[in-house]
Amino acid sequence: MKACPHPCEAALSSLPHDLLVAVSGGVDSVALLEALVRSGRRPIVLHVDHGWRSESQVEAKAVAALAQRHGLTFLTTRLRLAKKSESAARTARYAFFARAATRFGCRDLVLGHHADDQVETFLLQLLRGAGSGARGMEAMSTRGALYLHRPWLALWKTEIVAYARARALTWSDDPTNLDPRHRRNLIRHQLLPALAKLTGPETPRHLWRAAEIARAENEWLDSLCHEAAGRATLPVAALRAAPLGQQRRTLLRWLQGRGIADVGFADVEAVRGLLTHTSPARINLSRGRFARRRAGSLFIE
């Protein structure tokens, strides 16, 4: 009888065959590369050297050697940022991934994010005031021309580490993952253990489940507002008759669809006030644009 594949490998079954894979050299991405190869795929290995630590060049060489051992195409870049900024680094990473997608004619990029990352992301979103936007990461999403795949969002770090050890893999541990100056590290090493101590060891799983429910429900709510998001105007009477949650979601997606940047809760509530009031006559939005109500419709000018 044929043995069932390991969950780390089984989770890859729905991925396309031709892929780019981001490999940092840490256990998650090294294990992901192993699982992809064992699934019969020949991914193109991409590595970003942020240049922030003395060990980074050694890690880049280790990833290059790993790709060579598997006979895989390897491409790397070394970032030269003016200042140490995770946001700027993320933008630069995805710009590199996009260039690689164009170079190799492959737009599917697989990432090693897992359930622990999902819980941390969900908490970060909540603490930043994301409200209905708190849903964690998507298993499949787009960023520019890239299709991003995160097949391991239902797998826990312990499962991935156990898989890597069982396969006798070697990896590097990034010491910046312990730096308390990074908010994610504070959540990982302080907040989550404190919550588990207060409410029990299943707390991370409960939070993961909440993120999964929020993700699916947000997807459904967005589908209800899909048509409105692309319209130039919105009918006041119909929107006013809708449930409060639908009003807010419709206005959020409509404003975003009309090119309004950085839409927050206060912006949505201000525009929603136009449904029941005609004063003020207009609501200030970003970049010198306004929401107005006239002849029973909302519009942007």
Helix/strand/coil percentages in the chain, nearest 5: 50, 15, 35
Taking every pair of Cα atoms in the chain, the longest distance, rounded to a whole number of angstroms, is 74
Edge-to-edge strand list for the sheet holding 20-22: 74-78, 44-49, 20-22, 108-110, 146-149, 140-143
Q: What is the pLDDT of residue 297?
A: 92
Decide which of 119 and 176 is more confident.
119
Q: What is the pLDDT of residue 198?
A: 95
Share of residues in the chain with pLDDT > 70 (%): 97
Task: Tell me the two tokens of residue 201.
Answer: 């060891």
Answer yes or no: is pLDDT of 279 > 80: no
As a whole number of angstroms, the distance between CA 118 and CA 154 comes to 9
- Quickly state the pLDDT bin for 171 (edges 50, 70, 90): very high
Q: Count other Cβ atoms within 10 Å, centred on residue 168.
A: 6
Q: What is the pLDDT of residues 8-22, one digit of tens each?
A: 999 999 999 999 999
- Quickly state the pLDDT bin for 75 (edges 50, 70, 90): very high
- Between β-strands 233-235 and 282-284, what pairing exists: parallel, antiparallel or unpaired? unpaired
Report the run of H or E that residue 118 belongs to, with start and end. Answer: helix 115-127
Q: What is the pLDDT of residue 230?
A: 84
Q: What is the pLDDT of residue 84?
A: 75
Distance of CA 78 to the CA centre of its chain: 23
Terminal-to-terminal C-alpha distance of the chain? 67
Q: What is the pLDDT of residues 36-57, one digit of tens each?
A: 999 999 999 999 998 777 788 8
Task: Tell me the two tokens of residue 213.
Answer: 């429910």
Contacts of 268 (CB under 8 A, 6+ apart): 248, 251, 252, 255
Q: What is the pLDDT of residues 194-232, one digit of tens each?
A: 999 999 999 999 999 999 999 999 899 888 888 888 899
Q: What is the pLDDT of residue 131?
A: 64
Share of residues in the chain with pLDDT > 90 (%): 69
Q: What is the pLDDT of residues 108-161, one digit of tens each?
A: 999 999 999 999 999 999 988 766 678 899 999 999 999 999 999 999 999 999
Answer yes or no: is pLDDT of 278 > 80: no
Distance of CA 69 to the CA centre of its chain: 30
Answer yes or no: is pLDDT of 1 > 60: no
Q: Is 117 exposed, middle or buried (0-12, 13-18, 19+ CB in 10 A)?
A: buried
Q: What is the pLDDT of residue 179?
A: 80
As a whole number of angstroms, the distance between CA 94 and CA 111 comes to 12
* Cβ–Cβ under 8 Å, residues 83 and 167: no
Mean per-residue pLDDT of the chain: 91
Decide which of 41 and 87 is more confident.
41
Amino acid (one-letter) located at 1: M
Task: For residues 253-271, give the mean pLDDT.
Answer: 89
Q: What is the pLDDT of residue 24?
A: 94
Give the residue among 151, 44, 60, 33 at the shortest CA–CA distance from 107: 44
Q: Which domains does the chain have, with CATH numbers?
A: 7-185 (3.40.50.620), 231-300 (1.20.59.20)
Reduced to 3 states (helix: H, G, I; strand: E, B; else coil), residue 100 is helix
